[in-house]
Chain A
Amino acid sequence: MFAYVLRRLLYALPILIGVNLVTFGLFFVVNSPDDMARMQLGVKRVTPEAIERWKAERGYDRPLFFNGAVHGSAQVMDTIFFQKSLKMFSFDFGRADDGRDIAQEIRDRMGPSLALALPTFVLGLVASVSLALILVFFRASYLDFWGVVLCVAMMSISSLFYIIGGQWLVSKLWALVPISGYAPGLDATRFLVLPVAISVIAGVGSSARWYRTIFLEEISRDYVRTARAKGLSERVVLFRHVLKNAMIPILTGVVVVIPLLFMGSLLVESFFGIPGLGSYTIDAINAQDFAVVRAMVFIGSVLYIVGLILTDISYTLVDPRVRLE
């Protein structure tokens, strides 16, 4: 198991290097730092000096790959590629445009992001799996039919509608919770109730339908017929046998997103003013802070790879036939 995880981590290295090359290409090769400076400074204030100063402030005044002006290892190290791209592997992301250390900012903002994302994830999973089980229990009845219709209708509604409508109804009309904001500690609850509820409702349609197809596929298998032939009740068949065996396809889709919960939710966080990583990313996109976007891309791909490894490990926990060698 340990050897397997180690090997997977080593496999992850080329993928991270690939991600790094893609972002490097996007940010420094497609457009030169001069282009970026010109866009950020605006048309009116562009002078050669201003561009040079902008580049110097951010360390973009170095050559891309090879610095001929210096000697020794600095020839490779004193370049944009080394300073801005390779240094990410040590989680050193440099400074944002407002001068703050990005790594520190990310550490500070992880908490609020998780406080929103974790309850959303758990409650959403419980809600959609239970809804799917109910639909499967009453399969081929009117309840099942209208349940699926409701799911399809719910997944056809834009997530923006859930957020805007929920905020208007609950916060403005009924004035039950504050419209937006955040407070540390237990005070956060009253700020988090609405965003969590909205995210769960917005996601339940598509995931409940997805779990329903998984359960239905499972229910047509031979072991289910055997279990019924033994005289087990439908309830026992469904909850003890089908649910357990459906875990593998469910885990494939679910475990991989767990590490990405750290990234937060872009939309919900920015609508509800929660100071997490999602709103950090949105602000960076709007302010065109390239360093922050680069850092978030890197962290996102690290977390994705962690998620893939966790998925494999989780298989061994639910299915004894799977062995990681």
Chain B
Amino acid sequence: MGFLPVLLWTDALFFLLLGIGVVTIVHVRREAPLRAAWRRVGSRPSGMAAAVILLAFLVIGLVDSLHFRQQLPTTEGAPANAPIAYSSEVLSALDMLLAPLRTRVEKTYSAPFATELYARETVELPGGGQARIYPRLAWGGAHLGEDIGERDADLATRLATGLAGALELWVAVAAILVVILARRRGNGMREAARAVWRGETVLAWRSALVTLGGVLVVSILAIKLAPYYHVFGTDKVGQDVLYLSLKSVRTALIIGTLTTLVMLPFAVALGIIAGYLGGWVDDVIQYVYTVLNAIPGVLLIAAAVLMMQVVIDTHPQWFSTAAERADARLLALCLILGITSWTGLCRLLRGETLKLRELEYVQAARAFGVGTPAILRRHVLPNVMHIVLIALVMDFSGLVLAEAVLSYVGIGVDPTTISFGTMINMARAELAREPMVWWSLMAAFAFMFVLVLSANLFADVVRDAFDPRRS
């Protein structure tokens, strides 16, 4: 079946960000000081562990950013040259991988690994009459048939095979790593393995391997169990919570990275121009960011989101699918968050440029008659990039947390976009139910906690490595 690739705005920007990342890596490999700084990041166990987890999340987000529309089956008797029709539903590669999770929808709530719905229902008995029973789930544990008593044994065997598979894969990865390290170090496999085991390698490979082990165990267990059970249960409309959590990862990553990306050009340009030129230019730029700073952030976001909603609602002709409209709102949210958060970075860059301007090498460049744009590009910009990098990684975790709160308040992403905020929002009344429905809340919070914690740890390590005051 054919398909039509769809490039949403956030996809394009996300790929652009990845491209910038690749270019940066190539650049870093050539520059000795930058290489040394990144080696400092890699030598910290917490940095390597966090990087492994972030990489896993990044892969999920990336696979979820490849969007397309499926071709609709051609209708009977249509002319052969009829235009090909595509479904209006925009899917991603992750949706295809998780197709069993996406399509196996139950009637309503069910607990993790449950085989029955969470509450009794009145059903008609085949021989006439009614009974209050826990109805059997359509998909959860469906392979067990009627003997649901077998569930625990079935779970145990699947857990055991999953663990064994994860261990196998982990050993393979560890062996490959040891071989590569042994090649690099030019000594035997045994020495390389011992160095990794004792944590004596330059980069903290031991911590990376341990974390990778954890990631492999969790993901392989999920792969083994998810086709047969609802690992995190189902939500109110019977959707698999694991599927919702995995889909939320992309939204969180987009908000956390694109917000900084879209505000970066303004913050950097205005910051270094204000600091370098001074005078009335400085006054105007300072005035602009003081005004934006004076407005309480949440209210500015609320006002802007309300207004943006009006714009989107009054121009339905701009968007051909619902996904595009939701995507426009996501991008707009990034822009709005960026507008409220660029002021801090701009002020930092202005201050740093004020200092750089008086340094000898800048003075010398000016004495040689180098023009202002060239000085800014060649001498100022490279020397403030560490501040930009630190801001990028430090802002990420705060933005992920902010998305959840804003979506909860109703000024975040589109209600149809799956995100941690919308998951929590839908689940908020569930704790009051009897029996209590805790799984969708806990899944959203657990995913967010792991993502934000590793982002925080990684940010700390990056800041320590790049901030000259801290080394």
Binding site for B on A (CB under 8 A): 14-16, 18-19, 22-23, 26-27, 30-31, 35-36, 38-39, 152-153, 155-161, 164, 168, 172, 260, 263, 266-267, 270, 281-282, 285-286, 288, 290, 293-294, 296-297, 300-301, 304-305
A263 touches B296 (CB 8 A): yes
Across the interface, B310 reaches (CB within 8 A) one of A39, A158, A260, A263, namely: A39
Select the residue from A23, A161, A266 with max chain B CB neighbours within 10 A.
A161
Give the residues in chain B near A158, CB-CB below 8 Å.
401, 404-405, 420, 424, 445, 448-449, 452
Pairs A–B under 8 Å by Cβ, sample size 25? A15-B291, A18-B290, A19-B291, A23-B295, A27-B303, A27-B307, A30-B311, A35-B311, A36-B310, A152-B460, A153-B453, A156-B397, A156-B449, A157-B445, A158-B401, A158-B404, A158-B448, A160-B408, A160-B424, A164-B428, A168-B431, A281-B299, A281-B302, A293-B303, A297-B303
Give the residues in chain A near B428, CB-CB below 8 Å.
164
A156 touches B295 (CB 8 A): no
Give the residues in chain A near B411, CB-CB below 8 Å.
285
A155 touches B456 (CB 8 A): yes
A26-B303, A158-B405, A266-B409 given; A260·B296 CB < 8 A: yes
CB distance from A126 to the nearest CB of B (A): 24
Question: Considering the chains assembled together, what is the distance between the CA atoms of A157 and B441 in angstroms?
Answer: 13
A18-B291, A26-B303 given; A164·B431 CB < 8 A: yes
CB distance from B2 to the nearest CB of A (A): 36
Give the residues in chain A near B420, CB-CB below 8 Å.
158
Q: Does B287 contact A (CB under 8 A)?
A: yes
Across the interface, A39 reaches (CB within 8 A) one of B288, B309, B431, B460, namely: B309
Select the residue from A35, A172, A263, A294 with max chain B CB neighbours within 10 A.
A35
CB distance from B455 to the nearest CB of A (A): 8
Question: Considering the chains assembled together, what is the distance between the CA atoms of A297 and B295 in angstroms?
Answer: 6
Give the residues in chain B near A23, CB-CB below 8 Å.
295, 303
Q: A22-B291, A266-B298, A266-B409 are in contact. List 9 more A-B contacts (CB 8 A).
A: A35-B311, A36-B310, A158-B401, A158-B405, A161-B449, A260-B296, A281-B302, A293-B299, A300-B296
Q: For residue A266, which residue of chain B has the nearest CB?
A: B298
Q: Does B304 contact A (CB under 8 A)?
A: yes
Q: Does B36 contact A (CB under 8 A)?
A: no
Question: Considering the chains assembled together, what is the distance between the CA atoms of A293 and B298 in angstroms?
Answer: 11
Q: Does B63 contact A (CB under 8 A)?
A: no
Give the residues in chain B near A288, CB-CB below 8 Å.
306
Q: Does B410 contact A (CB under 8 A)?
A: yes
Q: Does B201 contact A (CB under 8 A)?
A: no
A300 touches B311 (CB 8 A): no
Q: Does B293 contact A (CB under 8 A)?
A: yes
Q: Chain B, 254-290, contact with A by CB distance < 8 Å: what is the 0/1 string?
A: 0000000000000000000000000000000001101
Give the residues in chain B near A153, CB-CB below 8 Å.
453
A152 touches B453 (CB 8 A): yes
A301 touches B445 (CB 8 A): no
B409 touches A267 (CB 8 A): yes
Give the residues in chain A near B376, CB-CB below 8 Å.
none
Question: Considering the chains assembled together, what is the distance between the CA atoms of A38 and B92 in angstroms?
Answer: 34
A22 touches B299 (CB 8 A): no
A159 touches B306 (CB 8 A): no
Q: For residue B309, which residue of chain A has the nearest CB?
A: A39
Q: Chain B, 305-343, contact with A by CB distance < 8 Å: what is the 0/1 string?
A: 011011101100000000000000000000000000000
B287 touches A285 (CB 8 A): no
Across the interface, A172 reaches (CB within 8 A) one of B290, B298, B408, B431, namely: B431
Q: For residue B427, which residue of chain A has the nearest CB?
A: A164
Q: For residue A281, which residue of chain B has the nearest CB?
A: B299
CB distance from A282 to the nearest CB of B (A): 6
CB distance from B297 to the nearest CB of A (A): 9
Give the residues in chain A near B306, CB-CB below 8 Å.
285, 288, 290, 293
Q: Does B457 contact A (CB under 8 A)?
A: yes
Question: Considering the chains assembled together, what is the distance between the CA atoms of A155 and B302 in angstroms?
Answer: 24
Question: Considering the chains assembled together, what is the distance between the CA atoms of A263 and B448 in angstroms?
Answer: 28
Across the interface, B307 reaches (CB within 8 A) one of A14, A18, A26, namely: A26
Select the residue from A156, A260, A293, A294 with max chain B CB neighbours within 10 A.
A156
B431 touches A285 (CB 8 A): no
Q: Does B294 contact A (CB under 8 A)?
A: yes
Q: Does B177 contact A (CB under 8 A)?
A: no
Q: Chain B, 390-417, contact with A by CB distance < 8 Å: what is the 0/1 string?
A: 0000000100010011001111000000
Question: Considering the chains assembled together, what is the distance between the CA atoms of A152 and B459 in angstroms?
Answer: 11
Across the interface, B311 reaches (CB within 8 A) one of A31, A270, A282, A304, namely: A31
Q: Which 9 A-B pairs have the closest CB atoms?
A: A18-B291, A300-B296, A156-B453, A301-B294, A156-B452, A31-B310, A304-B294, A285-B302, A297-B299
Question: Considering the chains assembled together, what is the distance between the CA atoms of A155 and B401 in angstroms?
Answer: 10
Q: Does B300 contact A (CB under 8 A)?
A: yes
CB distance from B155 to the nearest CB of A (A): 28
Give the residues in chain B near A31, CB-CB below 8 Å.
307, 310-311, 314
B405 touches A22 (CB 8 A): no
Give the residues in chain A near B302, CB-CB below 8 Å.
281, 285, 293
CB distance from A221 to the nearest CB of B (A): 14
Across the interface, B300 reaches (CB within 8 A) one of A14, A15, A18, A297, namely: A297
Give the residues in chain B near A27, CB-CB below 8 Å.
303, 307
B295 touches A22 (CB 8 A): yes
Select the residue from A16, A270, A288 with max chain B CB neighbours within 10 A.
A288
Question: Considering the chains assembled together, what is the distance between the CA atoms of A270 and B425 in angstroms?
Answer: 13
A159-B405, A301-B296 given; A164·B441 CB < 8 A: yes
Give the residues in chain A near B307, CB-CB below 8 Å.
26-27, 30-31
B410 touches A285 (CB 8 A): yes
Q: Does B292 contact A (CB under 8 A)?
A: yes
CB distance from B72 to the nearest CB of A (A): 29
Select the residue from A26, A31, A160, A282 with max chain B CB neighbours within 10 A.
A160
Question: Considering the chains assembled together, what is the distance between the CA atoms of A258 and B326 in angstroms?
Answer: 38
Q: For residue A213, which residue of chain B has the nearest CB?
A: B470
B294 touches A15 (CB 8 A): yes
CB distance from B160 to the nearest CB of A (A): 31
A22 touches B292 (CB 8 A): yes
Select the residue from B295, B299, B304, B449 with max chain A CB neighbours within 10 A.
B299
Give the residues in chain B near A161, CB-CB below 8 Å.
445, 449
Question: Considering the chains assembled together, what is the distance between the CA atoms of A53 and B411 in angstroms?
Answer: 28
Question: Considering the chains assembled together, what is the distance between the CA atoms of A39 and B310 in angstroms?
Answer: 7
Across the interface, B304 reaches (CB within 8 A) one of A26, A267, A270, A296, namely: A26
Question: Considering the chains assembled together, what is the distance between the CA atoms of A232 and B404 in angstroms?
Answer: 49
Question: Considering the chains assembled together, what is the distance between the CA atoms of A270 and B288 in angstroms?
Answer: 32
Give the residues in chain B near A35, CB-CB below 8 Å.
310-311, 314
B310 touches A282 (CB 8 A): no
